Amino acid sequence: DTEVTQTPKHLVMGMTNKKSLKCEQHMGHRAMYWYKQKAKKPPELMFVYSYEKLSINESVPSRFSPECPNSSLLNLHLHALQPEDSALYLCASSQEASWVTGNTIYFGEGSWLTVV
């Protein structure tokens, strides 16, 4: 089973709302990722968690707040977003964050976020 599950699939939120995106995997992976993808653009890395600790933050604005409650779950808390934050948010996981052994990263189907 190589499944990464993301909820919700679609989310519409106002600029003053607080919402969260959720991601779950049961493959025993110890690295989890958030990517953001705008229309007709490639995915852009936002955050990397390794062993439940934040290891990479790609200078993401603080209105995006990641959280890794345990090794199977990854959340992205959203607050005071702007319309330009509307995008597809992708969660991914891999056995390890290190790429020395060439491990594979698996993606979920994404959460479509619209900020109004």
Partner 1 sequence: DAKTTQPPSMDCAEGRAANLPCNHSTISGNEYVYWYRQIHSQGPQYIIHGLKNNETNEMASLIITEDRKSSTLILPHATLRDTAVYYCIVRVATDKLIFGTGTRLQVFP
Binding site for partner 1 (CB under 8 A): 4, 31, 33, 42-45, 48, 50, 55-56, 88, 90, 92, 97-100, 102, 104-110
CA distance 52 to 23: 13
- The answer to whether the Cα torsion of 42, 16, 33, 106 is positive or negative is negative
- The minimum distance between CB 67 and partner 1, in angstroms, equals 19
Apex 25 CA angle, 107 and 51, nearest 5: 95
- The minimum distance between CB 99 and partner 1, in angstroms, equals 4
Nearer to partner 1, 16 or 100 (CB): 100
The amino acid at 57: N
Nearer to partner 1, 62 or 104 (CB): 104
Nearer to partner 1, 7 or 14 (CB): 7
Nearer to partner 1, 17 or 112 (CB): 112
- The minimum distance between CB 18 and partner 1, in angstroms, equals 25
Would you give the DSSP letter of residue 12? E
Cβ atoms of residues 62 and 50 within 8 Å = no
- The minimum distance between CB 71 and partner 1, in angstroms, equals 16
CA distance 24 to 17: 23
